[in-house]
Structure 1
Amino acid sequence: MPIYVYWGEDDFAIEKAVTTLRDRILDPLWTNFNYTLLSPDQPDAAIAALNQVMTPAFGAGGRLVWLMNTTLCQHCPENVLAELIRTLPVIPENSFLLLTSRNKPDERLKSTKLLKKLAHEFREFPLIPPWKTELLVQSVNQAAQTAGVKLTPQTAEFLAQAVGNDTRLLDNEIEKLRLYTSDTRKPLDVDTITQLVRNTTQNSLQLATAIRMGDTAKALTILADLMNAAEPGLRIIATLIGQFRTWLLVKMAIESGERNPQAIAQAVEISNPKRIYFLQQEVKSLSVQQLISCLPLLLELEVSLKQGSTEVSALQTKVIELCQVCQHGY
């Protein structure tokens, strides 16, 4: 069936997949006639999309109807469901229906079950959790290989730390490195990468360290630097959550009596067991309860920013609270 459903939080990856699909289906000379984009704020967007996709393509190429940010897999009115049941099985062979959404489909809905049954591709585009360093490094290596950029294991790890799970930033940085290395076949070294890649994630890790040490003044200074560098608040929080989660897991492993660095590294999902020694030193002065108490504060901060709170004020307040927890605990 010529039906595609893309969903997930990785907006950039979805954009790339949509572009690939669009380029494959549409003839450039007939795009204006055969390409329709419908946003959710348009009245009866779903019904309009179904009507459009039933229209045969004009000229060369196929027809593509994109229902952007749709909620059909979260909430589907009865009249729309009836149209889906009637229309989806009989879409013309050269017409394609694309549905995209950030939200996870509700598997209980009839509309979701129908789309899963009939879709040629029903695909999730998730963001890699920022603490899954091995997956981040794999993502960097895959992007570098696709672009023809040669990286060493050290430079791949540095780049993964620098961009985190921001696939748009990764794409930009890889393109920059590709242009830089266009006249050489040698792998990039860490010194070169450091000069070319803006590593605000590393600064966010410095912020995490200042918070862990309870140094409020230093933490607020680093936070101000990140804000001045236009670093998104949600990305700062993602790095902090990842770091505090790692510290908590390491501390819990120590408290349970585990001493094998390889076993701890596996539990914490860290590829390099040599890092465990340094992590153990970092959490010496903190209790498990202090680290546990930090995570709800970070999650509260994430929720408040997603709900539209003033970024600078919310970050400053929570950074102070986190420093106090690390100083004294609850």
Structure 2
Amino acid sequence: MPIYLFWGEDDFSMAKAIKALETSAIDPNWASFNCEKISPDRSNPLTDALNQAMTPPFGSGKRLVWLVDANVTHQCSESTLAELERTLPLIPESSILLLTTHTKPDRRLKSTKLLEKFAQFQEFSPIAPWETKLLTQQVQKFASQIGVKLNSEAVEVLAEALGNDSRSLFSELEKLRLYTDSDSHIIKGEDVSRLVSGSAQNSLDLAKAMRAGNTALALGLVAELDRIGEPPLKIVATLIGQFRTWLWVRLMMAQGERDDKAIAQAAEITNPKRIYFLRQEVQSLSVEQLAATLPLFLELEFRLKQGANPLATMQSYTVQVCQICQK
């Protein structure tokens, strides 16, 4: 299929996919002639992209036409729709038309429905911090691509330390690959803890301080995260994920569940061995306390998105969560 639509906010993963598409299609000797990147500031970028895609490639290989920040799946005039209907079925196999956008396509639009008939859609959205199974799968996928062998504990530590930051994950795995002294060397969790410093780890320290009701320590960590420039919404996402995990574990304990595998499955934790430690962490808190924190985090996220002062707002809600956990 010569037409692709990539969408989502994970710029690093999308860039890797675009590079792979370019490498597979373009003859490097003819890249300057057959690789066209069209920016949205042109007078009519979509028409330019369609015209370029209809042009046969020079020399060997295929032609790649990349339309950046395409808005055709968010708004589309009748004339543009007619142009798409006329051109998309005629794009030759010797060309690849790539459209990229950060925003999820509006599947109600006729233009989006038309593209779905001719294009391959691929999503590049960051994994939600509480999707621990998907995070560990991403670690395993990247490790396989790079050629790094990790044991299950190392996978867990990386997923916890770096969260959904795919760029940092890839970079740290490259570092770990240089650390290994042979192809058969298996990296352990203790190796990752010693060599990888993840920003998500600082947010997890904040979550632990909140859970313990240690207001002074928690406020100090908020100030430190602000000092190093950690995005507040990213911090909140990590906090939501961690408190959600604690809530699931505590809820299963309250229901009398003793099987660690069953608890791990409910909490979407890949390694059931973690349940022993999670039990210890939440035994002093009630289900009601942990459940009461999540609406506060969602309210905090909403206020930050509305433009509230990041540091002051984070401090205010940190105190409230600590007070809940102190009761």
Same fold flag (TM > 0.5) = yes
Measure, in 1, the Cα distance between the counterparts of 2:169 and 2:42: 33
How big is the shift at 1:261?
Answer: 3.0
Give the SS at the match of 2:187.
coil
Cα–Cα, structure 1 residues 289 and 192, in superposed 2: closer, same or farther, change >3 Å?
closer
Confirm or deny that 1:199 pairs with 2:202: no
* Residue-by-residue CA offset, 1:110-165 (whole Å, 9 max, x unaligned): 2122111112x222233332223233222222222221212222222211211112
Shift of residue 84, structure 1, vs aligned partner: 0.7
Query: CA separation of 1:27/1:308 partners in 2, compared to 1, >3 Å: closer, same or farther?
Result: farther
**By how many angstroms is 1:241 displaced?**
0.9
Higher mean Cα deviation, 217-226 or 292-301? 292-301
Residue identity in the other structure for 1:271: T
Counterpart position of 2:125? 126
Q: Who is 1:111 aligned against?
A: 111
> Which whole-Å deviations, capped at 9, do the CAs of 1:210-252 have from their partners, x for residues lacking one?
1122221110112223333443333322211111111222233
Partner of 2:14: 14
Aligned amino acid, residue 24 of structure 2: R
SS of the equivalent of 2:4 reads: strand
SS across alignment from 2:314: helix
TM-score by length of 1: 0.88
- Give SS of 2:263's match: helix
Q: TM-score, normalised by structure 2?
A: 0.89
- Specify the code of the residue in structure 2 equivalent to 1:22: E
Counterparts of 1:16 and 1:125, CA distance in 2: 11
The DSSP-based 3-state class of the residue aligned with 1:143 is: helix
- 1:178 corresponds in structure 2 to 177
1:77 to 1:290, Cα distance in 2 relative to 1, 3 A: farther
Which residue in the other structure is 2:249 paired with?
Answer: 250
Q: Is 2:152–2:271's contact at 8 Å kept on the other side of the alignment?
A: no
Hey, what does 1:52 align to over in structure 2?
A: 52
Q: Report the Cα offset of residue 109 of structure 1.
A: 2.0
8 Å CA contact 2:136, 2:270 repeated in 1: no
Matched with 2:151 is: 152
Give the Cα separation in 2 of the matches to 1:263 and 1:144: 28
Moved more, 90-99 or 130-139: 130-139
Work out the CA distance in 2 between the residues paired with 1:63 and 1:307. Answer: 43
Q: Give the C-alpha shift of residue 197 in structure 1.
A: 0.7
- Secondary structure of the 1:57 match is coil
Report what 1:65 is aligned to: 65
Residue matched to 1:271? 270
Q: Deviations over 1:14-52 (max 9, x none)?
A: 110001112222233433333222334443322332222
Structure 1 residue 182, shift from structure 2 partner? 5.0
Over 3 Å counting, the alpha-carbon distance change for 1:44 and 1:297 in structure 2 is farther
Q: Which runs of 5+ in 2 are unaligned?
A: none
Moved more, 297-306 or 14-23: 297-306
- Code of the aligned partner of 1:319: T
d(CA) in 2 for partners of 1:264, 1:169: 30
Cα pair 2:156 2:271 within 8 Å, conserved: no
Contact 2:162 2:201 in 1 (8 A): no
Superposed CA offset, 1:149-194 (max 9, x none) = 1222222221121111211111101111112225563222333322
Q: Distance in 2 between matches of 1:65 and 1:287?
A: 57
Counterparts in 2 of 1:289 and 1:80: CA distance versus 1, 3 Å: farther
Distance across 1 between alignment mates of 2:149 and 2:212: 38
Distance 1:68 1:6 in 2: 10
The 3 A distance-change label for structure 1 pair 285 and 20 is same
Cα-to-partner distance string for 1:89-126 (whole Å, 9 max, x where unaligned): 1113322110112222222222122111112x222233
Distance 2:47 2:160 in 1: 45
Give the match for residue 25 of structure 2: 25
- Three-state SS of the structure 2 residue aligned to 1:159 is helix
* 2:163 matched residue in structure 1: 164
Identical aligned residues as a percent: 54
The number of residue pairs the alignment matches comes to 327
